[in-house]
Amino acid sequence: MSRLQLEEVRKSFINGDTEEEVLKGVNLTLREGEVTALIGASGSGKSTLLTIAAGLQRLSEGRVIFGDQNLPDLSSEQVRKIRAQHFGFVFQNSHLVPFLTVEEQLSMMMDIADMKGIKQYKQTKIKEILDQVGMSHRLTAYPSSLSGGEKQRVAVARAIIHEPKILFADEPTASLDSTRSRHTMELIQQLTKSFDMTTLTVTHDEEMLDYVDCIVKMSDGKIVNA
Amino acid sequence: MAWKEMKKNKAKFLIIGAIVFLISLLTFIISGLANGLSQDNVSLIKNMPEGTFYMSEDSDDSHTQSHIDPQKLNETMKEDENAFAFSLQMGALKTESDNQQSVAFLTSTETSLFTRVDSGEVILDSSLKDQGIKVGDQLSSPQFQGTFEVVDFIHNQRFNHSSVAFINQKDFNHMFRTEEFQIIYSPQINEEISGLKAFTKNEFLSTIPSYQAEQMTLNMIVWFLIVISGMLFSIFFYMMNVQKIGMYGILKALGMRTGDLFKMIWSQMGLLTCTSLIASALISQTFQVFAPDTMPYHLPIATTVQLSVVFFVVGFLGSTISGFQIKKIEPLKAIQQGEA
């Protein structure tokens, strides 16, 4: 079943006097329980496509359909709400908040997503997610004391604590070594299935494609092979 | 989150708090000293309630040249029972051990504002106690043939940076060879008296030689300090938040409301500023209690509160301006460049 649909998405940037089109009418459908990988050379438009799909930047033309809503038609506050409640993000660098413990990172995300609940519920939920990513033993650790792989696991936990419908992962393994990269992708794949999420990831690493259901290759702002 | 960040980065916030504390303490102390100097110059007049001061029309706005016609004085005092006349002249008093002190001799008609003094007696401002003068001492004056016996001390009565010496009218007239008073004071405001020139308290203060020039200089110093301190406050809070723009961008990408980020910025600013201001206000007020009498230091609570409000508002503006930078940041840019 389709969860996010991109129709004829175009994005142009003004560069000096010239207008540069980085997305040239992209059509893409993301389905429930599937991990879709965007691959392609640098500058092919894959990161731009991911951020447009995630409501992090406006498109020039086209439609991004989530549920029965077209994201470009919504106000920035409505898009923020969708991002907070229904989308999860894993970035290239984990981008954890440096002054929050692992537990607090997840608790903060629950607050952002307006998951009002009693403290005990929150704690149970956090423990449950951290168990799944294998980080429950580092509940009170600060990001500065975590390894790169551990940080990325916590970032994954933060991205899914509010049970988003779609997980956006922008090169989540770029800063990790091969073993940790595999573990992270394995984790994303497994969580996508178990939470019935939809995942859209950008990757340069072909080894990571073993963990995805659908590969979309981009070149010069267009999908060349899906 | 604001509190968690402060707890985690104790050293950073302690340093910022210490800077805010030191800047505000410096401003409080300098204001106290400026106020103190002003008090030292004219506390006698400043301590009097708001009212109207009258001098003769030919006085050229100088109390030393003013002379009130005794008939006019009688008429005025008959019409306004709270009015009284007084005269002030600079002079000197000498102790038996030849310690000479510059004083402002004051005499007045009967009033509840100034203590009545008999001929041959003097009441002095308490700062002269520090010069070893005590009740019962006999003091002489180059202008006076006899001696004055010190009968009492009175607190905070200074004029022209000298202690005020309250003496009897007869002695004053004898010393300065005059029969007329210089000034009439009435608690009534805006009452015109024909043949006399009326001054409000502030207008009268500005007729005192050196007072206006001194006040302008002191006010300039204090206001420069307030402006510079205010700017420093603003810049500190601005820099503190601008450094975290990347993190705020990430939080916006995750879906945090900009309003919640503003709350975080304001609560950190509020907590730091309030704690630092309370500490510096307490120290500057305590200093007032223990400062030696010879040090002109006077910091009223009202001034402390006014300065604190100025600092708080300026700190608030500084952090709000940085908040606008955060409002403008694109989450996408933060993801690409920012460090959370």
B314 Cα to chain A: minimum distance (Å): 27
Angle at CA of residue B191, ends B189 and B194, nearest 5°: 155
Q: Is B93 exposed, middle or buried (0-12, 13-18, 19+ CB in 10 A)?
A: buried
b/e map B271-291, b = 16+ CB within 10 Å: ebbeebbebbbeebeebbeeb
Is residue A188 within 8 Å of A172, Cβ to Cβ?
yes
Interval B163-172: pLDDT, tens: 999 999 999 9
In a domain, B207, yes or no: no
Interval B56-115: pLDDT, tens: 999 999 999 999 999 989 988 888 888 999 999 999 999 988 889 999 999 999 998 998
From chain A, the residues in CB contact with B254 under 8 A are: 83-84, 89, 109, 112, 158
d(CA B125, CA B131): 11
Q: Which domains occur in chain A, in start order? A: 2-225 (3.40.50.300)
The verdict on a CB contact (< 8 Å) between B340 and A97 is yes
The verdict on a CB contact (< 8 Å) between A57 and B330 is yes
Q: Do B325 and B235 have their domain in common? A: yes
Q: Closest to A99 (Cβ–Cβ): which among B4, B255, B330?
A: B4
Q: Closest to A89 (Cβ–Cβ): which among B1, B4, B254?
A: B254
Q: Do B139 and B23 have their domain in common? A: no
Helices A178-194 and A119-133: crossing angle in degrees, nearest 10, is 130
In a domain, B198, yes or no: no
A29 Cα to chain B: minimum distance (Å): 22
A161 Cα to chain B: minimum distance (Å): 12
Q: Do B177 and B251 have their domain in common? A: no
From chain B, the residues in CB contact with A113 under 8 A are: 255
What is the spatial order of strands in the sheet that A166-170 belongs to? Answer: A87-90, A166-170, A198-202, A35-40, A214-219, A222-225
In a domain, B194, yes or no: no
Q: Could you say which of B172, B188, B204 is where a domain stops?
A: B188
In a domain, B176, yes or no: yes
Q: Closest to B9 (Cβ–Cβ): which among A89, A91, A99?
A: A99
From chain B, the residues in CB contact with A84 under 8 A are: 254-256
> What is the model's pLDDT at position B340?
45
B254 Cα to chain A: minimum distance (Å): 6
- Listing DSSP states for chain A in one string gives -EEEEEEEEEEEEEETTEEEEEEEEEEEEEETT-EEEEEESTTSSHHHHHHHHTTSS--SEEEEEETTEEGGGS-HHHHHHHHHHHEEEE-SS----TTS-HHHHHHHHHHHTT----HHHHHHHHHHHHHHHT-GGGTT--GGGS-HHHHHHHHHHHHHTT--SEEEEESTTTTS-HHHHHHHHHHHHHHHHHTT-EEEEE-S-GGGGGG-SEEEEEETTEEEE-
> What is the model's pLDDT at position B120?
94
Q: What is the mean pLDDT of residues B137-157?
A: 92
From chain A, the residues in CB contact with B4 under 8 A are: 99-100, 104
> B31 phi and psi, to 5 degrees?
-65, -40
A118 Cα to chain B: minimum distance (Å): 18
Q: Do B62 and B31 have their domain in common? A: no
Question: Which residues are CB-neighbours of A191 under 8 A, at least 6 positions away?
Answer: A132, A133, A156, A160, A167, A197
Chain B residues with a Cβ under 8 Å from any Cβ in chain A? 1, 4-5, 7-9, 247, 250-257, 330-332, 335, 338-340
In a domain, B174, yes or no: yes
Interval B85-102: pLDDT, tens: 999 999 999 998 888 999
d(CA A59, CA A9): 7
From chain B, the residues in CB contact with A158 under 8 A are: 254
β-strand partners of B144: B141
> What is the model's pLDDT at position A118?
77
How many beta-carbon contacts under 8 Å exist across A and B? 61
Q: Do B265 and B165 have their domain in common? A: no
Name the closest residue on chain A to residue B254, using Cα atoms.
A84
Question: Which residues are CB-neighbours of B122 under 8 A, at least 6 positions away?
Answer: B93, B139, B148, B149, B150, B151, B165, B166, B167
Q: Do B27 and B57 have their domain in common? A: no
In a domain, B204, yes or no: no
- Domain count for chain B, please give it: 2
- pLDDT in tens for each of the 226 residues of chain A? 788 999 999 999 888 888 889 999 999 999 999 999 999 998 899 989 999 999 998 899 999 999 889 999 999 999 999 999 999 999 888 899 999 999 999 999 999 998 877 788 888 999 999 998 889 999 999 999 999 889 998 999 999 999 999 999 998 888 788 888 888 898 899 989 988 999 999 988 888 898 999 999 999 999 987 6
DSSP, res B210 = T
Instruction: Identify the domain containing residue B63 by its residue range.
Output: 52-188
Q: Could you say which of B171, B188, B205 is where a domain stops?
A: B188
In a domain, B200, yes or no: no
Interval A108-154: pLDDT, tens: 999 999 887 778 888 899 999 999 888 999 999 999 999 988 999 89
Which of A56, A94, A144 to probe the B interface (max B CBs under 10 A)? A56
The verdict on a CB contact (< 8 Å) between B255 and A108 is no
Q: Do B333 and B228 have their domain in common? A: yes
d(CA A14, CA B19): 45
Q: Do B33 and B80 have their domain in common? A: no
Q: Is B44 exposed, middle or buried (0-12, 13-18, 19+ CB in 10 A)?
A: buried
Q: Do B36 and B90 have their domain in common? A: no
Q: Closest to A95 (Cβ–Cβ): which among B8, B250, B256?
A: B250
Q: Do B57 and B183 have their domain in common? A: yes
Name the closest residue on chain B to residue A97, using Cα atoms.
B340
The verdict on a CB contact (< 8 Å) between B251 and A91 is no
The verdict on a CB contact (< 8 Å) between B255 and A84 is yes
Helices B301-328 and B10-46: crossing angle in degrees, nearest 10, is 140
Which of B254, B261, B263, B336 to probe the A interface (max A CBs under 10 A)? B254
In a domain, B46, yes or no: no
From chain B, the residues in CB contact with A108 under 8 A are: 1
Q: Do B108 and B168 have their domain in common? A: yes
Compute how many other C-beta atoms are within 10 angstroms of the C-beta atom of residue B155: 10
> B38 phi and psi, to 5 degrees?
-65, -45
Does the pLDDT value for residue B230 go beyond 80?
yes
Reduce the DSSP state of residue B105 to 3 states and report it: strand
Q: What is the mean pLDDT of residues B159-188?
A: 92
Using pLDDT thresholds of 50, 70 and 90, give the confidence band for residue B38: confident
The verdict on a CB contact (< 8 Å) between B335 and A170 is yes
Q: Do B83 and B155 have their domain in common? A: yes
Helices A148-160 and A178-194: crossing angle in degrees, nearest 10, is 10
A135 Cα to chain B: minimum distance (Å): 20
Indicate the pairing of strand A166-170 with strand B196-200.
unpaired
- Dihedral, CA atoms, A152, A157, A159, A160, nearest 10 degrees? 150
The verdict on a CB contact (< 8 Å) between A99 and B251 is no
